[in-house]
Chains A and B, each alone.
Chain A
Amino acid sequence: MFVSDKFTELQIDALREISNIGLGHAVTSLAEMLKGKIGMDVPHANFISMEEVIEILGGYEELVSCVSLELDGDIQGSVFYIFNKSSTYKLVDMLMGFEGGITNELDDMAISSINEIGNILTGSFISAISDFTNLKIIPSPPIFAFDMLAAIFTSLITVSGQPEGDNVLTIKTEMYRDDRIINGFFFLMPDPVSYEKLFFALGIED
């Protein structure tokens, strides 16, 4: 979490750009795993407040799934992926090779496949940023939750170490295969010192 007005336009553009690169790699990895063509668009990458995130994702009590990885090494912080209920079920259908509309609850198998996808997407995102910046970033194994959005989101924010910040880098992603579209939201949350390192590595300082 960080207050966006502390960043210059150039810095925000740079963050959008590395997000695009990272997620580009992520979708390639996913397509390889699923042995099929998967498209992904990244229509929005923005700094928005916790309240806005909650509104966009469907409200405080919306049932969502979340895969989160903690970052260590040169960059400290966390990354996480959140899918709302319908996108979670669609994602499971896609991963399991089901027709659309089959999945309507999550069993252990489904949870483990979402976990795996979250792990692949965030893992390749991180390695792309790592390659691009020459920073060493080590992601932890994934943790998973499927419950009320606000309960999950605030639990992640509170451990970010910056509870006084207001805005978080939110990247909307649209994954599609054939005629199915799955909306997900990806969040990058480095601590303040790591942001400095990131900008330095990108050659953008104040």
Chain B
Amino acid sequence: MQLLKIVNDLHVGIGEYKISRSSGRLVTLGLGSCVGVSLWDPRNKLGGLLHVMLPNSKDFNNINKHEKYADLGIPLLIQEMVKQGTSKNMLQAKLIGGAQMFTGVNQKKIFNIGERNVEMSRKILKEMSIRIIAEDVGGNKGRTMYLDLATGEVLVKTLGKNIKVI
């Protein structure tokens, strides 16, 4: 992954997903308790990135945006990628995020949300028979992630630390 070269970055917003192919990167900024789920098809160089906010849509009424929830967003991303020419068994997943950002008294809801996002994402991917080939999850730092569409590499940036490639 070349950092110094100007690359074509496609920004994935909070609770959104994007799919692209061949070159450039898909980027999502500032994952806290949220989880970034990247899917990549090495043969077609097709990649997708989803920014999950919450684990389970069943915890809420009135769901408007399926992409916000792991249980709805991941199947949606897979379905859209299949439409664009990949097959499910080609996809390789990577999970980034799910941190606990706050220190202080334990607030159970805040405490669990990152962990629950990670667990639900793993569960849904397993149910859909998608392999998770790398993870950088948990801890207490916010993360920005880049998916390189040509190589499938994921670059993880945290403040005050070295960039990590997985």
Contact = CB atoms under 8 A, between A and B. Distances in A.
A159 interface: yes
Interface stretch (A20-28, A95-103, A124-132, A145-153): A145-153
Contacts of B64: 164
A94 to B, nearest CB: 22
Interface in B110-159: 110, 113-114, 141-144, 157, 159
A141 B104 contact: yes
Task: Please tell me the size bucket of the interface on A.
Answer: 20 to 34
A151 B31 contact: yes
Given A61-B159, A147-B101, A148-B32, A154 B141 contact: no
Contacts of A61: 29-30, 142, 144, 157, 159
B29 A152 contact: no
Given A61-B159, A155-B114, A164-B62, A150 B142 contact: yes
B9 to A, nearest CB: 13
A151 B143 contact: yes
Interface string A106-142: 0000000001000000000000000000000000111
Contacts of B164: none
B58 interface: no
A144 B100 CA distance: 11
B103 A158 contact: no
B159 A143 contact: no
A155 B144 contact: no
A147 B60 contact: no
A154 B104 contact: no
B105 A155 contact: no
B30 A142 contact: no
Is chain B's binding surface mostly helix, strand, loop or mixed? loop
B107 to A, nearest CB: 6
B137 to A, nearest CB: 13
B142 A151 contact: yes
Contact of B54 (A70, A140, A141, A158): A158
Interface of A: 50-51, 54, 60-61, 63, 66, 68, 70, 115, 140-145, 147-159, 163-164
Given A145-B103, A148-B142, A163-B53, 19 more contacts: A54-B30, A61-B142, A115-B104, A140-B107, A144-B103, A145-B101, A145-B102, A147-B159, A148-B29, A148-B144, A148-B159, A149-B30, A151-B30, A151-B32, A153-B32, A155-B33, A155-B34, A158-B54, A163-B54
9 contacts: A61-B144, A143-B104, A147-B101, A147-B142, A148-B29, A148-B144, A151-B142, A152-B101, A164-B63
